[in-house]
Amino acid sequence: MTARHPLDRPAWGALTTTQADKALGGPLARRFDAAFGPFAATLDDSPQSVEALGALIVAEGGVVLLQAGETPVPPGTTAVFRAAAWQMMAPPVPAPADDPAIAALNDADAAEMLALALLTRPGPFAARTHELGGFFGVRRDGVLAAMAGERMQPAGYCEISGVCAHPDHRGRGHGAALTLLVAARIQARGETAFLHVMADNTGALALYQALGFTIRREMTVTALVPGR
């Protein structure tokens, strides 16, 4: 059997290595504690793993799968969303020059970060998502105008995520600057930076390609909830 690439199921890689302390589940299926986000994965597509995922969903609530290919819908659950996404790899990024407009974000900024994510919808973002890795933001007139940070971290890799800008502050390059900053920090640790973008988000795809990101492969995003 051909070995699976670690990024084919990044949630599984994260939840069984670097971020295992944030996992619920067991040896066949795991998910992030919902406070950190909805992502889940199975060891494989065996009936036993799929059944374990179903039991986890029934017990802990809905999840999102982000992986190469499609996992069968577990018994006792329903797929309410399914779409294609691109997984992209960062180019080598030099350490950026200091930018006084960019600052590290922390727990004190959590409410604003969640509000910005809910407004702009860069992807699933929960109350404690900001604790998964370093997040950085730009403030304008005291308001959080843009942010980006780290999410899933399979061993040796780190996902850039939460890239978004308030509608009143778009078109100023904040998203690009923050994306490159986060990528540079990941690479400085000796890790490989990657990100995901929905296949129909042509604007974001064009931005990342202009920054030098390359498509690794197509992924499938599936949202599963309890019930039939």
Q: What pLDDT, on a 0 to 100 scale, did the predictor assign at position 27? A: 97
Q: What pLDDT, on a 0 to 100 scale, did the predictor assign at position 201? A: 94
Pairing of strands 135-140, 143-150: antiparallel
Q: What are phi and psi of 151, to 5 degrees?
A: -130, -100
The pTM score is 0.95
Radius of gyration of the chain (CA): 17
Helix (H) or strand (E) run with residue 90 in it: none
CATH number of 6-86+221-226: 3.40.630.30
Structure tokens at 45: 């597509």
Residue spans of the domains in the chain: they are 6-86+221-226, 88-215
Closest by alpha carbon to 131, among 10, 29, 32, 24? Answer: 32
**Low-confidence residues in the chain, pLDDT < 70:** 1-3
Homologous superfamily of 88-215: Gcn5-related N-acetyltransferase (GNAT) (3.40.630.30)
Same CATH fold assignment for domains 6-86+221-226 and 88-215:
yes
DSSP string, 131-186: GGS-EEEEEETTEEEEEEEE----TTEEEEEEEEE-GGGTTSSHHHHHHHHHHHHH
Give the distance from CA 70 to its chain's centroid. Answer: 18
Q: What are phi and psi of 160, to 5 degrees?
A: -80, 130
List, for residues 11-65, the tens digit of each pLDDT value: 999 999 999 999 999 999 999 999 999 999 999 999 999 999 999 999 999 999 9
What are the Cα distances from residue 154, in Å, to 9, 33, 133, 151? Answer: 9, 16, 12, 10
Q: What pLDDT, on a 0 to 100 scale, did the predictor assign at position 3? A: 59
List, for residues 93-102, the tens digit of each pLDDT value: 998 888 888 9
Q: What pLDDT, on a 0 to 100 scale, did the predictor assign at position 70? A: 86
Structure tokens at 217: 């492969």
What are the Cα distances from residue 89, in Å, to 35, 94, 170, 194, 198? Answer: 27, 15, 24, 4, 14
Q: What pLDDT, on a 0 to 100 scale, did the predictor assign at position 1? A: 42
